[in-house]
């Protein structure tokens, strides 16, 4: 169609370029006069246009017009003066005559062709819907290797066998060894599970097919199973390859669970994946890797040997691993000489690799806001406060009364955290509104893998410190302890229900409530009787009451220190942990050994004895 339109346009252009040259037009009477004078040698009459073309004896041409009757009447005049005349009827232009019909027909044909191609495109899209959406990373592209993964030496060692198998499968086949068909990477979000999987492909030098669990699901029935089949067929064509399914829990959830019996389309997709994983042999060179942060909800058939043979735990990084991760993310940043990444690594327990990357970037952003040329240590401190405590709300203005209440509230937390022997180290206290809080007491937890009962009890005392401080100083409590009470109640309930830290309940444990969408808590009776539930509630209350009394005794004894910390907060708004300890020690020395608050709300100091447990711990 486009070629025909181009030829038609060319015809008109060529016709316009090579058109006959323009001639002088004279009247018919003047033509007769020139014939009588002997100036005209020949005449041609066009019967279609009634145009007369005449040529003079000198070779010039001119035009005139007349009717056919006039021209026929003057033929004798032309013969008398020796003029050669002829009557010409030109053949009609076929294209010009057919153009009024061809143009509408061409437009109609073009419309139907356009609609047909559009329909074919839509049908092609529907036919392609069953194809896998996996992204293939080949060996020609720059690959990720283990050198790009900081830390996690144990995880690297665990999956090195997979790399060796993909590089030299004959070594394993020669002695009959079978490599795991599937490796499941399990760990919290942000720990680098996807990065590790890509590093395995980069080390092995094989294609890497990456897909997420949600890519298998569509609105059409059977699409998920079709995409699973296409994914494994594509991998088989590559010979040796790694199939990586990120967030596999979206399709690998337990079958036949949840409200309504489950999700049939998702279960069919899982069934097809289970069939495909059993369908290829270990010697084919195809290894399936998957990542999830919720292994507890995966179907048992997916985790059995022969499918995902090995689970590799990717935990939160330790201090040395955090240091290596910080070095990786800060290598392209301009760091000042006062930046100590070792200190930063020690002060960021519980942060994942993604959190550390965000920390370094936030520090750089703080440096830009200060118009600094380099990132300093204070920028890292500000970035950590931003991540742990939230964005500071500069627009919120507290009244003097509210500010004093917040100062004593946070001072109660800070004093308990500073003097209790098993509490996490105190880092910073502020009464500046940050995030959703009016003030924040920040502790930096040490590296712990087990939590002793005395540590948990001291944590409860620290959580209750703000509420008890308000009660001792003002004689009335406020709503500021809402979040503290929720956390303390949840922690004490776990002590009784899950950790066996109650003598009345004894060595029994009941886990938390199951997820309804997994069918674990729907129409499910309690594992213990109503009498046991009453005992649990009583034990939770007893633990909270005991720790509340400990907290009250502690703050009464350290009342001078509480007043000093609150006064410093009202003056400076933010003080660090070392300053809190110095203020407490100086206030206690000035008040004399064993002096504290009486707790009646007037702030007077009276003599009291130090609690026996605190005295033993301090000694």
Q: List active site positions.
A: 410
353 phi, psi to nearest 5 deg: -60, -40
DSSP 3-state of 290? strand
CA–CA separation, 417 and 428 (whole Å): 11
Alpha helices (H) along 527-576: 530-557, 559-572
**CB 525 within 8 Å of CB 510:** no
Q: β-pairing, 605-607 with 84-88?
A: unpaired
Count other Cβ atoms within 10 Å, centred on residue 8.
15
Dihedral angle sign, alpha carbons of residues 396, 401, 407, 408: negative
Query: Residue 91: exposed, middle, or buried by beta-carbon count in 10 A (0-12, 13-18, 19+)?
Result: exposed
CA–CA separation, 203 and 96 (whole Å): 71
CA–CA separation, 231 and 269 (whole Å): 12
CA–CA separation, 455 and 449 (whole Å): 12
Query: Residue 585: exposed, middle, or buried by beta-carbon count in 10 A (0-12, 13-18, 19+)?
Result: middle
Structural element, H or E, at residue 54: strand 51-56
List the one residue out of 180, 197, 285 whose CA is nearest residue 248: 197
103 phi, psi to nearest 5 deg: -65, -50
| DSSP summary character for residue 109 | H
| DSSP summary character for residue 573 | S
> CB under 8 Å to 3, separation ≥6 — which residues?
none
| DSSP summary character for residue 513 | P
CA–CA separation, 357 and 158 (whole Å): 25
Count other Cβ atoms within 10 Å, centred on residue 550.
21
């Amino acid at each position: 169609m486009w070629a025909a339109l181009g030829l038609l346009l060319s015809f008109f252009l060529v016709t316009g370029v090579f058109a006959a040259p323009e001639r002088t037009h004279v009247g018919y009477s003047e033509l007769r006069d020139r014939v009588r004078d002997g100036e005209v040698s020949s005449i041609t009459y066009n019967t279609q246009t009634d145009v007369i073309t005449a040529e003079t004896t000198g070779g010039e041409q001119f035009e005139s017009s007349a009717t056919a009757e006039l021209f026929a009447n003057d033929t004798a005049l032309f013969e008398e003066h020796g003029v050669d005349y002829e009557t010409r009827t030109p053949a009609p232009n076929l294209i010009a005559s057919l153009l009024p019909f061809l143009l509408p027909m061409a437009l109609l044909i073009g419309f139907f062709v356009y609609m047909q191609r559009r329909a074919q495109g839509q049908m092609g899209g529907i036919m392609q819907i069953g194809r896998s959406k996996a992204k293939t990373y080949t060996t020609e592209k720059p690959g990720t290797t283990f050198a790009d993964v900081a830390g996690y030496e144990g995880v690297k060692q665990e999956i090195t066998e997979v790399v060796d198998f993909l590089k030299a499968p004959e070594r394993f086949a020669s002695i009959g060894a079978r490599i795991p068909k599937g490796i499941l990477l399990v760990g919290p979000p942000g720990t680098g599970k996807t990065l590790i999987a890509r590093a395995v492909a980069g080390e092995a030098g094989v294609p890497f097919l990456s897909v997420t669990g949600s890519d298998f699901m569509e609105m059409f029935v059977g699409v998920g199973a079709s995409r699973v089949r296409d994914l494994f067929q594509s991998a088989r064509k590559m010979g040796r390859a790694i199939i990586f399914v990120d967030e596999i829990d979206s399709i690998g959830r337990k079958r036949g669970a949840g409200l309504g019996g489950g999700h049939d389309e998702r279960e069919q997709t899982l069934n097809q994946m289970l069939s495909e994983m059993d369908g290829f042999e270990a010697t084919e060179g195809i290894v399936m890797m998957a990542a999830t942060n919720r292994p507890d909800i995966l179907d048992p058939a997916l985790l059995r040997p022969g499918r995902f043979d090995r689970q590799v735990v990717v935990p939160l990084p330790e201090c040395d691993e955090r240091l290596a991760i910080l070095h990786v993310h800060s290598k392209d940043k301009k760091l000042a000489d006062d930046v100590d990444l070792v200190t930063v690594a020690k002060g960021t327990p519980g942060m994942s690799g993604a959190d550390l990357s965000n920390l370094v970037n936030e520090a750089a952003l703080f440096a830009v806001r200060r118009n600094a040329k380099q990132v300093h240590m204070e920028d890292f401190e500000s970035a950590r406060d931003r991540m742990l405590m939230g964005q500071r709300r500069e627009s919120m203005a507290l009244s003097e009364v509210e500010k004093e209440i917040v100062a004593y509230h946070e001072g109660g937390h800070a004093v308990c955290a500073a003097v209790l022997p098993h509490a996490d180290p105190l880092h910073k206290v502020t009464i500046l509104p940050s995030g959703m809080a009016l003030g924040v007491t920040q502790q930096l937890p040490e590296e712990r893998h087990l939590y002793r009962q005395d540590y948990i009890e001291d944590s409860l005392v620290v959580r209750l410190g703000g509420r008890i401080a308000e009660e001792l100083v003002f004689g009335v409590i406020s709503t500021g302890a809402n979040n503290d009470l929720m956390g303390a109640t949840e922690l004490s309930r776990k002590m009784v229900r899950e950790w066996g830290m109650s003598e009345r309940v004894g060595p029994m444990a009941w886990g938390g409530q199951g997820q309804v969408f997994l069918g674990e808590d729907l129409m499910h009776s309690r594992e213990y009787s109503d009498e046991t539930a009453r005992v649990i509630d009583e034990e939770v209350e007893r633990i909270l009451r005991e720790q509340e009394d400990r907290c009250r005794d502690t703050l009464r004894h350290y009342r001078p220190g509480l007043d000093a910390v609150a006064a410093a907060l009202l003056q400076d708004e933010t003080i660090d942990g070392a300053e809190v300890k110095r203020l407490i020690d100086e206030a206690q020395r000035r008040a004399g050994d064993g002096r504290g608050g009486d707790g009646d709300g007037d702030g007077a100091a009276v003599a009291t004895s130090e609690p026996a447990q605190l005295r033993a711990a301090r000694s």
